[in-house]
Amino acid sequence: MLMRGIRLGKRIADRLPIFRATRRRKFGRITVELWRGAVLKRARNCTLSGDGRLDVGFRWPAYLADKTLVAVSDGGQLSVEGHFTIYTGSKVVVDQGAVLELGSGYLNSNSTISCFNSIKIGRDVMIAENVSIRDSDNHTIVNSNRPQDGAIVIGDHVWIGMNSIILKGVKIGPGAVIAAGSVVTRDVEAGTLVGGVPAKLLRSNIEWH
């Protein structure tokens, strides 16, 4: 009798928003789970597409909830194909007219994706804490023939170590590993380990799990 009462109480509590760990929202076929402290800002003319699930502000029970932001500006496009988790304290910003494509995997705490043009993240991608991914310098060095912007493509099954920075125009091949604390300014071959500032090849033909 007591157990039935507890089970019934739990079922009722689950239906009351104040007791739920997340708020669930549907945008077409995408499901967005907003954890405590998470904010999803959508401009009126942005697009959310794909048929995946996006967890925003996820945290393990021992962690405190920090502010987590996903913002998509006017004309911006965010697509989610698989299950992608953005941990508490991270920030994902899609600027006006920019396109961010997420496959599956996670972006760990206090990381940032700043998408001003185009960023594509594949499937099964692990991005550690304090990582910055930014496809624009936002300023230009005078008399330089280098572009200020460049699309970033991160292939399937890539692991990006903590405190790394991925700069404009970089393509990271499938299965690659970026060592902690790297600044990646040039393309990374599939199945290689790179590291350092700027990141250089450390090992080839690697596998990781």
Ligand X SMILES: CC(C)(COP(=O)(O)OP(=O)(O)OC[C@H]1O[C@@H](n2cnc3c(N)ncnc32)[C@H](O)[C@@H]1OP(=O)(O)O)[C@@H](O)C(=O)NCCC(=O)NCCS
List residues binding ligand X (CB under 6 A): 137-139, 141, 144, 146, 167, 183, 185-186, 197-198
Contact 85, 104 (CB under 8 A): no
Instruction: Name which of 145 and 205 has its Cβ closer to ligand X.
Output: 145
Residue 49: CB minimum distance to ligand X, A: 28
Residue 25: CB minimum distance to ligand X, A: 31
Instruction: Name which of 126 and 183 has its Cβ closer to ligand X.
Output: 183
> DSSP state, 123?
S
Instruction: Name which of 160 and 167 has its Cβ closer to ligand X.
Output: 167
**165: three-class secondary structure by DSSP:** strand
Residue 110: CB minimum distance to ligand X, A: 17
How many other CB atoms are found less than 10 A from the CB of residue 83?
17
Q: Long-range contacts made by residues 63-66, C-beta under 8 angstroms, separation at least 24?
A: 63/88, 63/109, 64/88, 65/35, 65/36, 65/37, 66/37, 66/109, 66/110
Sign of CA dihedral 122, 176, 174, 189: positive
Residue 139 is a catalytic residue: yes
Instruction: Name which of 124 and 149 has its Cβ closer to ligand X.
Output: 149
Which residues carry out catalysis?
139
